Amino acid sequence: MRIGLVCPYRWDRPGGVQYHVRDLAETLRGLGHHVEVLTPAEHEESLPAEHVTFAGRTVPIPYNGSMASVQFGPISAARVRRWLREGHFDVVHVHDPAPPSIGLLVLIIAKGPIVATFHAATVRSKWLAVWGPVVRPWLERISGRIAVSDFARRLQVEHLGGDAVIIPNGVHVRVFAEGPELPGRARGAGGPTVGFLGRYDEPRKGLPVLLEAMRDVVRRHPTARLLIAGRGDPDGLRTAIGPELQPHVELLGELTEADKAAFLRSVDVYCAPNLLGESFGIILIEALAAGAPIVASDLDAFAAVLEDGEVGVLVRRGDARALAAALGELLADPDRRADLSARGREVAWGYDWSVVARQVLAVYETVVVPGSGAVTATDDDADVLAVSADDGPGHPPRRRRVRR
């Protein structure tokens, strides 16, 4: 099958959607399909030499809680059109098509089976409530919609119209399941460790709650240590930690992908104290794959991944005392940790790319009706919309410019 993937975010910036598209493309290629990617980037040179097409630069604006890449205009439209014409795709798969980006441009220009995945990081529904009706006419062209979580699906149903099937984010389970641990910090050796990973100065990640809980935890387990990995302002964090907790906290800074896996394999408990707004919680799947027992706050997305507490401990969000109790108990109970670890590894395989990509393929195969032909591009400017009700083949359709 010839598949065209569209990533609306800059390829050379780290981001969940970019990784998702990259891994999906790789996995589908591994299954013997031809996959091309269209994406903007900051520097054209930073794109891989093959199978990735540069769609131009973007203007970042805040959208839906993160930075969307706005990209519109005749040059981008021409690039999209050329990519569609030269690709001869059986199906085009657009990621996050709602913001005004190349994803939306593809919807406007492409003709044929289109699949779209809605990632939706955080709720800023005010934005969506205004923007949704504007883009709806083009979202109508999507034949099959996918949401990565129940949360993303609800957002989509409420504001963008239409239902979606849920196919979760994928993880390369093997990368996390097998490999070395962080040097000198092997699981079970030395004092028990609690791991935290994320932008620690973002309040919604909930680190202050965890720090408060750790004060209780170290009273019960004097050798316990908290390992903090991720980006942020270390000085501000040291003030927040305070002198008495200082000996129990270690800052690891930003980790590479390989180190992140090693980190998750090393910690005795992984803690996700987030207060709000995770659409999916891919980090929990990665922790499960690495065999780390998890204590997480009871966000919907986390509860879904942890199967309502079957494969991890859920605590009320923002409740430092409950978090301290849960961490303390888990650190004192190696049998329960081993049990959670084993169950977690098993559950994680359900999110492996080999499984997830096949589900995505099933969607492609469903929307590609035999004999309906490949995806093509409409033959006029992007902001020109077909108006006449029945364009017969042969005579050029009447068209009219509609500014949006």
Partner 1 sequence: MAPVWTIVALVVLGLLVAWTAWTLSRLRRLEGRVDRARTALETQLRRRAALAAEVAGRYATALEPERAARLTRAAAGARLPWTPDRELAENVLGRELRGLPRDVPGLEPALAADLAGTAQRVALARRFYNDAVRDTRELRGRRFARVLRLHARRPLPRYFDIDDSYGELAGTAGTGGS
* Binding-site ranges for partner 1 (CB under 8 A): 113, 137, 140-141, 143-145, 147, 150, 153, 161-167, 350, 359, 362-363, 365-367, 369-370, 372, 385-390, 400, 402
Whose Cβ is closer to partner 1: residue 186's or residue 386's?
Answer: 386
**Alpha carbons 168 and 166: distance in angstroms, whole number:** 6
Question: CB of residue 117 vs partner 1: minimum separation in angstroms?
Answer: 14
Whose Cβ is closer to partner 1: residue 91's or residue 320's?
Answer: 91
Question: CB of residue 389 vs partner 1: minimum separation in angstroms?
Answer: 4
Lay out the sheet containing 52-54: strands in order across: 52-54, 34-39, 2-6, 91-95, 114-118, 144-147, 165-166
Question: CB of residue 32 vs partner 1: minimum separation in angstroms?
Answer: 17
Question: CB of residue 315 vs partner 1: minimum separation in angstroms?
Answer: 25
How does DSSP assign 166-182, residue by residue?
Answer: E-PPPB-HHHHHSSPPP
Whose Cβ is closer to partner 1: residue 56's or residue 161's?
Answer: 161
Question: CB of residue 402 vs partner 1: minimum separation in angstroms?
Answer: 7
Whose Cβ is closer to partner 1: residue 57's or residue 399's?
Answer: 399
**Alpha carbons 225 and 311: distance in angstroms, whole number:** 23
Question: CB of residue 381 vs partner 1: minimum separation in angstroms?
Answer: 16
Is the separation of the CB atoms in 16 and 198 below 8 Å?
Answer: no
90 CB contacts (<8 Å, ≥6 apart)?
1, 2, 3, 113, 364, 368, 374, 375
**Alpha carbons 209 and 229: distance in angstroms, whole number:** 16
Whose Cβ is closer to partner 1: residue 145's or residue 260's?
Answer: 145
Question: CB of residue 334 vs partner 1: minimum separation in angstroms?
Answer: 32
Determine if residue 137 is left, alpha or beta; phi over 0 gives left, psi from -120 to 50 gives alpha, anything else beta: alpha
Is the separation of the CB atoms in 38 and 53 below 8 Å?
Answer: yes
Whose Cβ is closer to partner 1: residue 49's or residue 395's?
Answer: 395
Burial group, residue 54, by CB count within 10 angstroms (0-12, 13-18, 19+): middle
Whose Cβ is closer to partner 1: residue 30's or residue 137's?
Answer: 137
Amino acid type, 275: L
**Alpha carbons 109 and 251: distance in angstroms, whole number:** 48
